Structure 1
Amino acid sequence: MVAIMHPEVEWHVSPGFPYVSGDGVVVGPQAVVQNVFAPIPECYDGFTIDVQEFFGSGDKVVMVGYLTGVWKETGKRFKANVVHVTTLKDGKMTHFFEAADTAEIIGAG
């Protein structure tokens, strides 16, 4: 996935994830790997994205699905709604936006 990221990709992660600080915006492929991808196995067991549908329009691709796994801190299994909106330009990912039910994931809901 890093290979298709624009050098200045803007990645918006849903606030509420335990590893997200501030407003959840990360810029650049290496920052995405370090601050978004790397913490996932530290926080979750069996984390998966269960894709239900893809939609495309113009430069946007929308994924609707579920995040599943076990939150290590509580041992709680979760299945949370998620939507990803990706913007592409010249074959590169320039913008990623995530809306996820983080309350379901951390058991706050």
Structure 2
Amino acid sequence: MDLQVISRDGEPEYAVLPWSQYQALLQAAGGVQRQNAASAAQPVDSAACAPDDYPSFDQVGPLRQAKELTLAQLARAVGISPSYLELIENGTRQPDAAIRRSLAWELGVPGWRGEA
């Protein structure tokens, strides 16, 4: 099996393998086989969402809690300190573009990727 393991902080976080091998694993596990990669992933088109549709940064805390993440867990995943994340959550700080992208990814939000 051609498997690539991606680690974060010395711990395995993701496994990447060829599509055909993924399909074989799904089949062996009794899962539904998909015909192509396009049907497997349906990314959110953030260009189709107006910035007004994005949650404001004061919603980071409720979004984090809805995903059952602690402040420390989300901060670690985003690559910032818990105290800095707390400042973002309470509106004291506005995150830069890289942090906005990371927050959007971790919280499953289609926005916060390019807007200022």
TM-score exceeds 0.5: no
Q: Give 1 or 2: higher helix fraction.
A: 2
Give the shorter-chain TM-score range. under 0.3
TM-score (norm 1): 0.24
Q: Which has the higher contact order (CA 8 A, sep 6+)?
A: 1
Structure whose alpha-carbon radius of gyration is higher = 2
